[in-house]
Amino acid sequence: GQNIDQPTEMTATEGAIVQINCTYQTSGFNGLFWYQQHAAEAPTFLSYNVLDGLEEKGRFSSFLSRSKGYSYLLLKELQMKDSASYLCAVTSGNYQLIWGAGTKLIIKP
């Protein structure tokens, strides 16, 4: 079957760095998305990786290794507003978008 695994919950300290991992097993691969979702709000787009390597966008970076079926989202200089769930999603071979259950990130002062 197809599935995406990511940790259920993580805790980090304001100002620190946190890495949220995502592993996937899908029938084919066409790209990987990261979305941010604050409580009781809609998901919003963070990043899209198609090729191996690191994509940096301000305080957020996303890494992809297609051979390992692995990605991570790196958040630097954590702020309280970064407390949210982070959703990993993969576009499979037939362009079906498969979602992970999300990682709830708790930021402590």
Q: Where along the sequence are the contacts to other proteins (CB under 8 A)?
A: 4, 8, 30-31, 33, 35, 40-45, 48, 87, 89, 91, 95, 97-102
Q: Cα separation of 109 and 102, whole Å? A: 23
* Residue among 10 and 98 whose Cβ is closer to other proteins: 98
Closest separation between CB of residue 100 and other proteins, Å? 5
Paired tokens of 78: 């954590």
Query: What are the distances in angstroms from CA 78 to CA 12, 19, 82, 106, 109?
Result: 8, 11, 7, 10, 10
Closest separation between CB of residue 95 and other proteins, Å? 5
* Residue among 35 and 78 whose Cβ is closer to other proteins: 35
Paired with 70 in beta bridges are: 23, 65
* Residue among 80 and 95 whose Cβ is closer to other proteins: 95
